[in-house]
Homo-oligomer: A and B are copies of this chain.
Amino acid sequence: MAEYIVGIDLGGTSAKLALFDRQLDEVGRWQVATNAKNGGQAIIPDLIASIQGELKERKLTSSDLIGIGMGTPGSIDRQAGSVQGAFNLGWAKAQDIRGAFQEAFPGVKVALENDANVAALGEHAKGAGKDYRHLLLVTLGTGIGGGLIVNDQLLVGAGNAGEIGHIQANPEGFLCTCGNRGCIETIASATGFRQTALARAKQEESPESSFKSFVQAHPDRIDTELIFEKARAKDVFAQAVVEECLTYLGRCLSQIANCVHPQCILLGGGVAQAGNYLIQGLEPAFEAGLYPGIKGSVEIKIASLGNDAGMIGAASLVQNDLKE
């Protein structure tokens, strides 16, 4: 009887894979470098070969596999089992992922989902979100991603629900990679903190401090970690930058909360390493924006699974399918 699920978190540099049992307990994990050359044509064959190798090493065969779940960048066609527009993988046009996996592992279930959504599913299955039926995961990394769980199920709506990084927070703000202006991703991602610091350092009206002078002199050495470090050390310029970015983020999260009323908002990604300092910074604007009817009923916490959330969530796509 088939007993195992493969969870894959596919990224631009490498893919993280793990073998899970039916209870989503991990049996083993490995990595595969992502080869985005030649339109990323080697990516799926490389993944398949690595899974075959792992199965062989464990004296397992394709028939021991229930399914393969994968989180991936790009735009997912869940019905077709394909992905397109994942430019960092070389996948501009639609790639038939399900077909390729099923050819190599006949009879196996294959489920695809976008990377922020699988991270939300992972935190919901095994992480800081496991006690909540209604959950928002926000990944604060180079960009901002989001995954919404409602009634213990991923909310995709007409296909792309949860893309909260592109909620317009400041119509006069920075240009976003998406082409719009002032998306929350341009303000409260790692990129956002950095470009806010650089922009404010050029302005006379922003508070003067030794860090402001440093930013002016060494714009290439500024990152979110340093900005938070200086803010914690009470540098007034760094504090002003953090306050500006987190006020926008807190307000944006309150808008989402008023709309979908989650029980908990989990913050993940590199920026979330700032932990409670991050939460405390965004809470004033978050609380000010919450509708009184839901005040006190939405927790904000730091996600707990880090980079493992993707693999677990990807595997849970197959597990959820088993339950239905």
Taking beta carbons and an 8 Å cutoff, which residues of A are in contact with B? Answer: 75, 133-134, 146, 148, 150, 155-164, 166-168, 171, 178-181, 183, 251-252, 254-256, 258-263, 285, 288-294, 297-298
Question: Is B150 a contact of A157 with CB atoms below 8 Å?
Answer: yes
The answer on a CB contact under 8 Å between B160 and A134 is no
**Quick check: A297 and B158 within 8 Å, CB to CB?**
yes
Contacts A260-B260, A288-B168; A163 near B255 (Cβ below 8 A) = no
Cβ B259 vs Cβ A159 within 8 A: no
Known: A150-B150, A180-B289, A291-B178. A261 touches B167 (CB 8 A): no
Residues of B within 8 A of A297 (CB): 158-159
Chain B proximity of A251: nearest CB distance (Å): 6
Residues of chain B lying within 8 A (CB to CB) of residue A180:
288-292
Provide the residues of chain B in CB contact with A150, threshold 8 Å.
150, 155, 157, 161
Chain B neighbourhood of A260, CB < 8 A? 148, 155, 157, 161, 259-260
- Which residue, of A168, A179, A251, has the highest number of chain B Cβ atoms within 10 A? A168
| Chain B residues, Cβ within 8 Å of A146 | 259
CA A290 – CA B181 in complex, angstroms? 10
Provide the residues of chain B in CB contact with A294, threshold 8 Å: 158-160, 163
Q: How far is the CA of A158 from the CA of B260 in the complex (A)?
A: 8
Contact across chains for A259 and B164 when beta carbons are under 8 A apart: yes
> Contacts A134-B158, A260-B155 hold; do A291 and B163 have CB atoms under 8 A apart?
yes
Which of chain B's residues have a CB closer than 8 A to the CB of A291?
A: 160, 163, 166, 178, 180, 183
- Within the complex, the shortest CB–CB distance from A114 to chain B, in Å, comes to 10
Q: What chain B residues lie within 8 Å of A263 (beta carbons)? A: 157-158
Q: When the two chains form their complex, are residues B134 and A251 in contact, meaning their CB atoms are under 8 A apart?
A: no
How far is it, in angstroms, between the C-alpha of A255 and the C-alpha of B134 when the chains are bound?
A: 19
20 contacts between A and B (CB under 8 A): A148-B260, A156-B261, A157-B260, A157-B262, A158-B297, A159-B294, A160-B261, A160-B291, A162-B261, A163-B259, A163-B261, A167-B255, A167-B259, A168-B288, A171-B251, A178-B292, A178-B293, A181-B288, A252-B255, A259-B259
Contact B258 A255 (CB under 8 A): no
Most buried by B among A163, A179, A262: A163
> In the complex, what residues of B have CB within 8 A of residue A168's CB?
251, 254-255, 258, 288-289
Contact A293–B259 (Cβ < 8 Å):
no
Known: A148-B260, A159-B297, A179-B292. 4 other contacts (CB 8 A): A157-B260, A157-B263, A163-B261, A180-B291
**Cα A294 to Cα B161 with chains together (Å):** 9
A291: nearest chain-B partner, CB-CB: B166
How near does chain B come to A112, taking the closest CB pair, in angstroms?
A: 16
Cα of A55 to Cα of B127 in the assembled complex, Å:
54
> What residues of chain B lie closer than 8 Å to A166, measured between beta carbons?
258, 291-293
Most buried by B among A146, A164, A260, A294: A260
Contacts of A256 in B (CB 8 A): 259
Give bound CA distance, A291 to B114, whole Å. Answer: 16
Known: A180-B291, A292-B178. A157 touches B261 (CB 8 A): yes
